[in-house]
Structure 1
Amino acid sequence: MWDLAELWLEGAVMAVIQTAGHDTGYWVGDDGLSHDDGSSNWWQLIPFGDGRAVVMGKDHDLPGDLYDDLPQALATGPDWLRDAWEGTPDDRLRSAVLKQAPIGFFSWVDPDSGWHAVPTDDSHDDGSRLVSAPYSGFDCPLFDAYHGVGDLDAAQAHADALLAAARRAALDAELLRPVLHCADPGRTHPFALDAALRTAALAGLTPGTRPPELPTG
């Protein structure tokens, strides 16, 4: 399945850029990491600590909705998942499902039992192929606007440096500024750096913070 630690890292960096003011389609909040590609396709990673997490989403080109199947499916899941669905000690999971429904795929990972998924009508394509780390395929359109404007190799070097710093929980404004400039070279008003750094801290990418503990594959 997915390398959730890498997914969080790369998606959270994109969420930092999003918060700064350049649209990437990634967000980090109390309900985890979310992505929307702008074409009604979305996925969400919700960490629950200790290597436990939920990944869900929807490919709008595929029919079906798992919403009505979730209560029965999760009733047979591990205690932490049942508690999350029932709202004890919090209601992040139920709130996220209600907010995002319809649900095309729903998976969870538990360190004791591995990956599980709510069955779908099409086991070959449930839409979960949407879930991928932004940089892993080298097709991230982050620097589309920089074509013909500047050195794309230098732009990628800035992005690599930012990602490496995030991996060390060392992301800061000095590393973020050149990436933002390359992503949005025609911008005429300031980026929201303070807000972006707050997002980075929430995601565990800045000094003194920690990302959630997530499985690596």
Structure 2
Amino acid sequence: MPSPEVLWARWALVAVLEATTEAEESTRYRTGCWIDDEGLHLDDCGCTWWTFSRVGEGRWVLFGEDESSACKWHTPPVDMLAGGPDWLPHDELRDRLDGNELGCVYWYEDGAWARAPYPDDLDDDGLDCGMSRFVERDSALRLLDEHVRRDGGTSAETLMAHAEAYRLTPELLESLAAPADGSTPDLPAMTRALHRAALTARAETVG
């Protein structure tokens, strides 16, 4: 896993690029990537959903599930909250557990990622498959290619570099973004998402 700041930057960048006013105003179930007051979300309207949140200074939580996760099917059951700190969103996580909707939980504190201990025979909790699109830089760039102009082959790299340095601006988005469907970028919605994601701040200031 990369640092939470890098993971946040890559994921938030996709959420910014996918932001539309229509999606903001919709009360229907959302898919794709988006950001709200809870944090970053990913849902493919299938078997993968994730939430990533900043929880105070130097604290982050990542939870969700992928169809490859073996945690919730393991016998005996795996306590995915074992050893978790008090600041985790325990009420939501336990509701997810009770609904059999949770595949794994990771948290970050004191400079390190952590999770509950797993049995020796559990080798896949869904994290690799679910998060590889952001964890692996090449995968993240391929994902960005769907949202940027193809006029020199460096747009995705440029956007990624600015996002990871927390120096994105609406002007950069306007100059580089190009929705995959050929439509006009919804710059007002993207700008609102950009400020919500705090990608205009330096990485040192976001937690």
| Fold in common (TM above 0.5) | yes
Q: CA deviation at 1:58?
A: 1.1
One-letter amino acid matched to 1:15: A
3-state secondary structure, aligned to 1:165: helix
- Does the aligned pair in 1 maintain the 2:66–2:103 contact within 8 Å? yes
Inter-partner Cα distance in structure 1 for 2:145 and 2:72 = 35
Q: What's the Cα RMSD here?
A: 3.9
Inter-partner Cα distance in structure 2 for 1:194 and 1:162 = 18
Distance verdict in 2 for CA 1:177–1:38, change over 3 Å: farther
When the two structures are aligned, how many residues end up with a matched partner?
Answer: 194
Q: CA deviation at 1:117?
A: 2.3
* Corresponding residue of 1:33: 40
Matched, 1:136 2:130: no
- Does the aligned pair in 1 maintain the 2:5–2:203 contact within 8 Å? no
Deviations 1:109-132 (A, max 9, x none): 221885122647952111111223
3-state secondary structure, aligned to 2:19: helix
Inter-partner Cα distance in structure 2 for 1:26 and 1:202 = 14
Matched, 1:186 2:182: yes
Q: CA deviation at 1:69?
A: 6.3
Distance verdict in 2 for CA 1:43–1:118, change over 3 Å: farther
Matched, 1:161 2:151: no
Q: CA deviation at 1:185?
A: 6.2
3-state secondary structure, aligned to 1:198: helix
- Does the aligned pair in 2 maintain the 1:104–1:126 contact within 8 Å? yes
- Does the aligned pair in 2 maintain the 1:45–1:56 contact within 8 Å? yes
* Corresponding residue of 1:125: 124
* Corresponding residue of 1:9: 9
Inter-partner Cα distance in structure 2 for 1:145 and 1:199 = 15
One-letter amino acid matched to 2:182: G
- Does the aligned pair in 2 maintain the 1:203–1:211 contact within 8 Å? no
3-state secondary structure, aligned to 1:55: strand
Inter-partner Cα distance in structure 2 for 1:197 and 1:169 = 14
* Corresponding residue of 2:26: none
